[in-house]
């Protein structure tokens, strides 16, 4: 089943009289359960594409569906709901809330979703154990290493059981061993829970482990290797 369908999508940024065609006529579908790397040189449009799939920004042309919903036809409230209920995000800078503990950071999304306190706590603890952070639940982000913070961010992204996780250079700030461990974790979640992952990367180790590699250049897809064929 298609979880993401992108049809004829272009994105032009126009600012101060300068316009940049960040994406041009992108067609792409991602099936449920895929593990997809977006690769390509700096400026090729990876972050732009992730932001569009994540309903964080709107295309200049073309259409995007998540599951059966066309993002462009949703109201602002429906888009927020889609992000909260169906999508998980992992950013390069982790975006953890500094004053909250690891546990509270993971609980936070469920708080927004209206999950009750007991269940919130239980699921956040289970998830932190799953990402190997048992015993560190009460530390704030500043008291954790980069790799540990990134694992909190992964736990937060998946605790609400999204259908797809979007990650922008998730290993960029990690040493290679920590990056490899993070990727193994993502892959395990992909295989065991069937969560679809789409992530951008420059990292050769990550590209090697991706099931499917979509290569962008100057805002166009120039290669799509390992895609499932019907």
Ligand X SMILES: Nc1ncnc2c1ncn2[C@@H]1O[C@H](COP(=O)(O)OP(=O)(O)OP(=O)(O)O)[C@@H](O)[C@H]1O
Instruction: Please report, as ranges, the residues that interact with ligand X according to CB under 6 A.
Output: 13, 15, 20, 22, 40, 42-48
Query: CA 175, CA 95: separation in Å to the nearest integer?
Result: 19
| Binding segment toward Mg ion, per CB under 5 A, in 40-48, 184-192, 202-210, 220-228 | 40-48
Q: Residue 44 or 148: which CB sits closer to ligand X?
A: 44
Q: Residue 48 or 196: which CB sits closer to Mg ion?
A: 48
120: Cβ contacts below 8 Å, ≥ 6 apart: 107, 110, 111
Interface map 195-214 toward Mg ion (x if CB under 5 A): --------------------
The total of other beta-carbon atoms located within 10 Å of residue 216's CB is 23
Partners of 39 in beta bridges: 215
Query: CA 90, CA 149: separation in Å to the nearest integer?
Result: 11
Q: Residue 11 or 123: which CB sits closer to Mg ion?
A: 11
Distance in Å, CB of 38 to ligand X, minimum: 8
Distance in Å, CB of 8 to ligand X, minimum: 18
Q: Residue 91 or 102: which CB sits closer to Mg ion?
A: 91
Distance in Å, CB of 15 to ligand X, minimum: 5
Contact 91, 150 (CB under 8 A): no
- Collapse the DSSP code of 71 into the 3-class scheme (helix H, G, I; strand E, B; otherwise coil) and give the result: helix
Distance in Å, CB of 230 to Mg ion, minimum: 31
Distance in Å, CB of 222 to ligand X, minimum: 13
Q: Residue 35 or 199: which CB sits closer to ligand X?
A: 199
| Angle, helix 146-159 to helix 176-193, in steps of 10 degrees | 10
Contact 145, 87 (CB under 8 A): no
Q: CB under 5 to 8 A by kind: which of ligand X, Mg ion, none does 13 bind?
A: ligand X
Ordered DSSP codes for 150-208: HHHHHHHHHHT--SEEEEESTTTTS-HHHHHHHHHHHHHHHHHH--EEEEE---HHHHH
Which of the residues 45 through 104 are near Mg ion (CB under 5 A)? Answer: 46-47
Q: Residue 47 or 148: which CB sits closer to Mg ion?
A: 47
Distance in Å, CB of 211 to ligand X, minimum: 20
- Collapse the DSSP code of 221 into the 3-class scheme (helix H, G, I; strand E, B; otherwise coil) and give the result: strand
Binding residues for Mg ion, per CB under 5 A?
46-47
């Amino acid at each position: 089943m298609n979880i993401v369908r992108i049809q004829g999508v272009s994105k032009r940024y126009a600012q101060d009289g300068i316009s940049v065609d960040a994406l041009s006529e992108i067609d792409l579908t991602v099936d449920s359960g895929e593990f997809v790397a977006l690769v390509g040189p700096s400026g090729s449009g990876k972050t732009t594409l992730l932001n569009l799939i994540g309903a964080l920004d709107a295309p200049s042309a073309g259409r995007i569906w998540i599951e059966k919903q066309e993002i462009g036809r949703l109201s602002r409230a429906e888009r927020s709901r889609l992000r909260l209920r169906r999508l998980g995000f992992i950013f390069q800078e982790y975006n953890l809330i500094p004053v909250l503990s690891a546990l509270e950071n993971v609980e936070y999304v469920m708080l927004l979703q209206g999950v009750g306190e007991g269940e919130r706590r239980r699921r956040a603890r289970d998830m932190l154990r799953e990402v190997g952070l048992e015993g560190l639940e009460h530390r704030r982000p500043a008291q954790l290493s980069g790799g540990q913070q990134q694992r909190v961010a992964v736990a937060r992204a998946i605790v609400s059981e999204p259908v797809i996780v979007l990650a922008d250079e998730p290993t960029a700030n990690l040493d290679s061993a920590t990056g490899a461990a993070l990727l193994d974790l993502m892959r395990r979640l992909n295989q065991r829970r069937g969560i679809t992952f789409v992530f951008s990367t420059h990292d050769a180790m990550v590209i090697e482990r991706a099931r499917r590699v979509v290569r962008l250049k100057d805002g166009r897809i120039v290669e799509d290797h390992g895609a499932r064929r019907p």
